[in-house]
Each structure stands twice: as C-alpha cells, then as structure tokens.
Amino acid sequence: MNIGVIKAYTLKEFKELMRTRMIFTVYALPLTILVLFGYGIRMEVTHSRILIIDNDQSKLSGELVEKFKHSKYFNTTEANISESKALKLIKQAKKDAIIIIPTSFEKRLIKAQKIDIAIFIDGSFPNRAHTIENYIESVIINYLQNYAQRYPTFSTNIIAINPRSLFNQAMRDEDAIVPGLIGLALFVSPAILTALLIVKEKEKGTIFNFYASSINKEDFLIAKLIPPFLLHSVSVLILFLIAVYLFRVPFRGSFALYWFSSELYVLVSLSVGLLVSIVTRSQIVALVLTVIITILPGFLYSGIILPISSMSRESYIEAHMFPVMYYNHIAYDTFLIGQGLSSKKIVLYLIILMGFACVLLNLGWFLLKKELKK
Amino acid sequence: MIKAFLSIVAKELLDFLRSWGLVAVVLYSFTVDVYIAGSGMQIEPKNVSVGYVDYTGGGISQKILFHLHEPEFVAPKRFLSQKQLSEAIFNKEIMVGIVFDQDFEKNYRKHKKATIDVLLDATAASQSFITLSYLQNIVLNFSKLNIPIDIDIHKLFNPNSDERYFMALVELLSVVTMLSILLPAVVFVREKEEGTWDIMLLMPVDPKIVILAKSLSQIIIIMAGVVITVGLVLFSTFNIPMNGSFFAFLLLTFFYAFTSAGIGLFIASVSEGMMQTAQLSMLIMMPLIFLSGAWTPVYAMHPILEKLSLLSPLRYYIEGCESIFFRGTSFIDLWQYFAGVLVLGSVLYWYGFRKIGKLF
C-alpha cells in the first residue's frame, strides 16, 4: 500500500469521470429507477377491464352490476352482445374478463335455485388472471351475503375476515415496493459504472501505464474503486430521502444500519462491475455481460414481485447467488420493521454481504494481471 | 448499392462471430437465462408458513385450518398467545397468523357475524395479497349460503395458469429488448469513438445504407437468437402453446428489433463514448423492460406513466406476443401492435439519420 500513489491515481480517475460528464448520469439512473418504478409498479390490479353481459335485466341483476361498477378494481362496461362476440373482444385483448349473468337470475335467486354465472378470464398473464378471478369472486359472494342478510329466510353462517397487515398497515404499494427498489438501483448503477473502467484501458492501450508503472495491483484496484464508491455513497442518501419524503415510506429501523449495509452493498455491486471489467477483453462484452447479470436478476431476485421463498429449483439457487436478496431483507427491515441487529438473520446477511465483497475483490485481484496477456 | 449493403452486413456479422466472448454471452442470455427464469419462478404462494392462536374450543376453527394444505401452505403451527404469534411473524418464521377469538364459534353457531383476525406480513406484499384471497375463498365456502350459486370460471388460453409460460416468454422479450438496443448502440458508438465513423461517412456510400446495414446485421443476430430460444427453450422444454401464427411472431419480432435498434442508434448518436452509452442505455432500457405492461398492467399505473408507456415499443410487442402465443389473435387484429412498433421505429431512424448520418 502506497498512500501517495493511491491518492494520485484516485485523483486521476476522479477527473476522468468528471470530464466525461458522468456526474449527471451517475445519479440519473438510480433516481429514475426509484421514481418511475415507485409510481409504475403495482401489486394491486386496479381498473381491470371487464364486460358484463346481463341477460336478465332485472332489479337484482342490476344491483350486482352496480357492485362491479362501484369497485375501483374494475372498469366495468355493460353490453348486450353474444357470447362469441364477447370472446372475440378478449381475443383482441380489449377486455380482461367477461361475466355472463344468466336469464333467470332474479327468479332463481328468489326461489333459491341453482344459478350459473359464467366467467371468462384472459389467462395470458397468469398472475393477473388469478387476481382478477379472486376479485370477481369476492364481489359476487359479497353481494350474495348482503342479499342473504336482507332476507332472514336464508339462514346463513357468515364468517368475515378481518385482515391486519403488520408493518404496512394500509397495505400501501409504495411501502412494499420502494425499499426493494433501492436494492435494485444500488445494484445496477454502481455495477454499470465500474464495468468499463478497466476494460476501457485495455481497449485503448492505456493499461500499459499500469503494466509499466510501479503501482501495485491492490493499489490500482483501490484507486479505481474510490471515486465510484464516493459518488454512490451520495446516492445512498438521495434514495433514502426520496423514499421517506416523496413516497412517504415509514422508517422504523436505525439509520446507521441502513447506511452501513447500503455502503457495503454498493461496494459489492462495484466489485461485480470491476470483476466483469477485469475478465473481459472488449468494452462491448463487458457492457452486455453487466447488463445481463444485473438488470434481470436484480429485479427478479429482489423479492419485490416474486417472493424468494416460493421459488423453486434453479431459480431458488440462483436467487441466493446474487447479493440483492440479502440486502433487500435488510432494507425492508430498516424501513418497515426495525428489528435491526437483534435479528440473527440480519447479522447473518450482513456477514454474507461482507463475504461477497471479500470474495469478489480477491477474485478480481487474483485475475488482474500485471503483464500483457498472450 | 446492394453490394455495399451486403458487404457491410457480412462484415459486422463476421465481427460478431470473431468475438467469442460476445457470442457466448448472447447465447447464454438466449438459452440458460430464459430457461432459469421459466423453470422456477412462481408468483403464486407456495410453502406459506401459517401460525394460529385458537381461543375457541376448536371445532370450526380446526375445520378451517384443515383446508390450508400443501403445496400452498405448510401445516399450520399452533401458538398459545397472540403475543407469541406476533413475535414469530416479526422474526419472519411465520408469514400469516390467524387468530380465532373466544366469540368466534359462538357467533358462528348463532348465525351472527363471526370474525377471524388475520395477521399478514405485508413486507411480502404480493404473497400477502394472494394468501388473503385464498383464505377468503376457504372461509367463503364455510359461510354456508343457502343460495346454490355456481361461479363457473373459465381461464382462457392458459387454463392451468402455468406461470412458466409467462415467465419464460417475458424473459425472452426482455432479453430481446436489451440485446437489440445494446448491440447496435455499441456497434455505432465504437466506430464513433475510434474515429472510423467519419471515414465511413466520407466513403461514396449513402450513410443511410451504412446505418441500415449495420442495424440489420445486429437484427440478424437477434433473430437467430430468438429462433434458438423459441425452438429449444419455449417449445421443447416448456411446451408453450402457439395459438397464433408463428410467421406473425417472427415478423413482429423483426420489426420490434428494428425499432429497438433505432433506440440503440439514438443512444449512440447522442452519447460521446462507451461510458455514456452504458449509462444511457441502462437509463432507457430499465423503464422499458419493467414498465411496459408485463409486471403491472399498464392501466393500473399512474396516469402519467400510462400515457408515457405509449412511447414504449415493448408495450406493443408484449401485447402482440401474448396475443400471438396465447390468445391466437388473427393477423388482421394485430395491426395496432405492428403499427405502434413501426411508427416509433421510423421516428427513431429519422432522428438517427439526421444526427449521425452526415459529417457536418
């Protein structure tokens, strides 16, 4: 370690980054991810486009249709068209579901005879179809429960569910998504920043300065890491402020833990990019490789939409190979739960993140050659 | 003219094949990546851990709990007090807690409204939502309505809700998007950075031809990759149904790749070096991939984003592909997707031609 050399080299790296006008894009990326995704990704499926064909046109069936019309989950239209025509609308992706109320709905309901309500749902997006199915069912059952209560002749045993969500009382989508997005943003943007740092020099030939000078491998790596690390330390703070003040996500844990784990995680992401930069020979490969190993895994394995615990086989294993899920567990805890270091799992995950940083940096150090490769 | 065009295409393809690292990465994304995403991702809950506190004698409550079974739920675990249950949820050992209070069974027998308290870990929001609806359905079956209603649900196009279809297809579309933006972008920007682009423009060949040929060469790579994925992964491994016309899918993919290459061209023309290209393409790709309707339906988004997504070619491509693969939409009804992709593509190329298509 030679402090003077590191200092000089760091300064050179920093100036280089500044001169390419990177300062703008460095922060634009995490900001865009958090703000756009925070407003764009929703767990609830609202405004599903459903079409009701009311063949009965009676008072009771009208009440049922009204129920659908008043729900925020549906954009309901009513039409009197044939079933095949309606199915064609689904085929053209103009409607998500069709509900067909049979002709004798009212008569049969009053007489308590069997009623068949046919529902057709577009199953192209399975999860969406599932959600819509549940919403439709509960609207209908709810309607019938109300109906049964009005007419005591139907003796009913009604069980109601009273859901209470811990940590996220209002079941706000923002609370559930934004902490996870921080994990995605702090994975993708540091990695893409460092991915080209070394391979760029290889392509341009300036890497010979490193080969020929007396700087050590470790000093070189440290000098390469410091400027992006400092730049992204600021994003850690920016993302925190946006989450708390723009999205109004509660913050229940300790800020120190958030700060420490985020810095550690940024270091891991930077090392991922740096490792890519060390093993590749051309900028194109480095860029494509980084994009492939960060964007999709960062999103899929972050636990935002797909819970890790319900993954199976290959995906489950791959999820554990990426740092995102460990950091996100800590991020969700610091924002919504606030257990902090009293939870063994968080301590374990912190250690795993440190392990990631150590292994990646050492691997990079090992693979970085200080001579011309044949 | 044609000769110049073809030789540029051939040169770029050769360039690609010589970079074995790039070939390996592209092949990986088109095969293994799609396979992994399709094979193990599930959005529906599985192995959800349930804990309960039962203050009743345990008649009805046990019957309800009996319905929580594999594969969705792990056998419910009993806790003695609500405090213990909450602690277990805090430690993430239990995801859903159910509390039957003392009056539960009494009210139920008396035909009054009986209430179950359900505690959900909402940090796993998607699972909580779906688990809650599972519970609601189980309980609704218990609310013996004397009305024999039969809700007859038909899920069209994917009756078993096989999520592998969806995940694999979405992953493929994402990979196509990423590569068809990145590859052309780097092809152009590399020449720009090395200065050979100016030489290219000085040659007695129409710059438009050069740009189109370079884009086409990258699109050929993408198309080859798509054919490999669809054949090897989608059809052979996951048995994804193909209800529409395969030709329509290929044609739409071709147009889409052209439009994405236009985005790549745009990125290359505004950025000065590889670093900027990297940052910019990330900045453009990520919203495209995740906000084009695959994960959240466009109509459920914030109204501003809903409008903005009209600018995303992937929005048309996703809808179009879903329609071709699952809905089996006829060719004529696909026109809007083709139109959306083509209009956006033309605008991007127009800009690209103007921006880097001439020397001064």
Q: Looking at beta carbons, which residues of chain A come within 8 Å of B147?
A: 109, 112, 115, 144, 147-148, 154
pLDDT at residue A353 in the model: 93
pLDDT at B145 over 60: no
pLDDT at A206 over 80: yes
pLDDT at residue A191 in the model: 92
pLDDT at residue B93 in the model: 72
Would residue B150 count as lying in a domain? no
Give strand ranges (E) for A205-335. none
pLDDT at A374 over 60: no
pLDDT (tens digit, 9 = 90+) per residue, B313-356?
888 888 888 888 888 777 777 888 888 888 988 888 888 888 87
Structurally, chain B folds into a number of domains equal to 2
Q: Are residues B197 and B344 in the same domain?
A: yes
B4 vs B148 pLDDT, higher one:
B4
Q: Are residues B197 and B341 in the same domain?
A: yes
| CB-based contact B323 A93, cutoff 8 Å | yes
Residue where a domain terminates, one of B110, B142, B174: B142
pLDDT (tens digit, 9 = 90+) per residue, A65-108?
888 888 878 888 888 888 888 888 888 778 888 888 888 888 88
Instruction: Answer whether A307 touches B (CB < 8 Å).
Output: yes
Q: Which residue of A has its CA nearest to B103?
A: A159
pLDDT at residue B221 in the model: 93
Q: What CATH number does the domain containing B74 carry?
A: 3.40.1710.10
pLDDT at residue A56 in the model: 83
Q: Are residues B29 and B85 in the same domain?
A: no
Residue where a domain terminates, one of B112, B142, B172: B142
Q: Are residues B96 and B231 in the same domain?
A: no
pLDDT at A54 over 90: no
Q: Are residues B200 and B78 in the same domain?
A: no
pLDDT at residue B12 in the model: 87
Length in residues, chain B? 360
Q: Which residue of B has its CA nearest to A317?
A: B40
Write the Ramachandran bin of A210: left for phi over 0, alpha for psi from -120 to 50, otherwise beta: alpha
Would residue B204 count as lying in a domain? yes
Q: Are B208 and B5 in contact (CB under 8 A)?
A: no
pLDDT (tens digit, 9 = 90+) per residue, A210-234?
888 888 888 888 888 998 899 899 9
Q: Are residues B71 and B200 in the same domain?
A: no
pLDDT at A109 over 90: no
Would residue B22 count as lying in a domain? yes
- Alpha-carbon A62 to chain mean position: 40
Distance from C-alpha of A170 to C-alpha of B294, rounded to nearest angstrom:
25
Would residue B260 count as lying in a domain? yes
Q: Looking at beta carbons, which residues of chain A come within 8 Å of B99?
A: none
Q: Are B332 and B249 in contact (CB under 8 A)?
A: no
Question: How many CB atoms are closer than 10 A to CB B96?
Answer: 26
- Domain region containing B76: 50-142
pLDDT at residue A114 in the model: 77
Residue where a domain terminates, one of B142, B174, B191: B142
| CB-based contact A315 B37, cutoff 8 Å | yes
Considering only residues 197 to 256 of chain A, which have any Cβ-Cβ distance to chain B shorter than 8 Å? 200
| CB-based contact A283 B186, cutoff 8 Å | yes
Please give the mean pLDDT across all residues of chain B.
Answer: 81
Provide, rounded to the nearest whole percent, the portion of chain A with pLDDT above 70: 91
Would residue B149 count as lying in a domain? no
Q: Are residues B106 and B134 in the same domain?
A: yes
DSSP H helices in chain A: 3-19, 22-40, 59-69, 83-91, 105-111, 126-150, 173-194, 197-204, 207-212, 217-241, 255-279, 283-300, 313-321, 324-332, 344-367
pLDDT at residue B219 in the model: 92
Q: Are residues B224 and B350 in the same domain?
A: yes
- Alpha-carbon A138 to chain mean position: 28
Provide, rounded to the nearest whole percent, the portion of chain B with pLDDT above 90: 11
| CB-based contact B289 A295, cutoff 8 Å | yes
For the CA atoms of A263, A268, A272, A278, the dihedral, rounded to the nearest 10 degrees, stands at 90
pLDDT at residue B143 in the model: 61
Nearest to B148 among A87, A114, A314 (CB): A114
All domains of chain A in start order, with CATH: 3-41+169-367 (no CATH), 48-150 (3.40.1710.10)
Distance from C-alpha of B181 to C-alpha of B284, rounded to nearest angstrom:
9
Instruction: Reply yes or no: is the peptide bond before residue A297 cis, omega within 30 of 0.
Output: no
pLDDT at A258 over 60: yes
Q: Are residues B250 and B326 in the same domain?
A: yes
Would residue B183 count as lying in a domain? yes
Q: Which residue of B has its CA nearest to A188?
A: B282
Q: Are residues B23 and B62 in the same domain?
A: no
Considering only residues 310 to 369 of chain A, which have any Cβ-Cβ distance to chain B shorter than 8 Å? 310-316, 318, 332, 336-337, 339, 343, 345
Distance from C-alpha of A319 to C-alpha of A374, rounded to nearest angstrom:
36
**DSSP track, B294-315:** SSS-GGGS-HHHHHHGGG-HHH
Q: Are residues B182 and B61 in the same domain?
A: no
Would residue B153 count as lying in a domain? no
pLDDT at A275 over 90: yes
Q: Are residues B183 and B100 in the same domain?
A: no
Would residue B148 count as lying in a domain? no
